[in-house]
Amino acid sequence: MASDKVLHVNDAEFDSLVKSAQPTLVDFWAPWCGPCKAIGPVIEDLAAEYDGKVTIAKMNVDDNPVTPGKFGIRAIPTLIIFKDGEVVDQITGSVGKSELVELIKKTE
């Protein structure tokens, strides 16, 4: 079930998205990445669960090379949590929902 709560962001929109006072979790991914596909449903669940509290976005690294380069992303999936435009923390690899909830809690 695809959620309409997950934003798909590009290089041009990225800065304005993460400069929000509301925390933003960005999933840097690619369509050919198996672990990225595996974590997809977890991202969808979090988007529904934290709707209105945390912005959840996905960025395709193949289509948007500038932003991943700026953050030194060398492996995907990489998930970065931002608050007020600043990186709070990040996780690389396919992780479970509990690890992502802990990541989000760091912005509270």
Domains of the chain, CATH where assigned? 7-105 (3.40.30.10)
In 14-99, DSSP assigns E strands to: 24-29, 55-60, 78-83, 86-92
pTM here is 0.95
Any idea what the Cα angle at residue 36 is, between residues 48 and 76, rounded to 5°?
120
Contact 106, 89 (CB under 8 A): yes
State the catalytic residues: 33, 36
What single letter denotes the amino acid at residue 104? I
pLDDT tens sequence across 28-55: 999 999 999 999 999 999 999 999 999 9
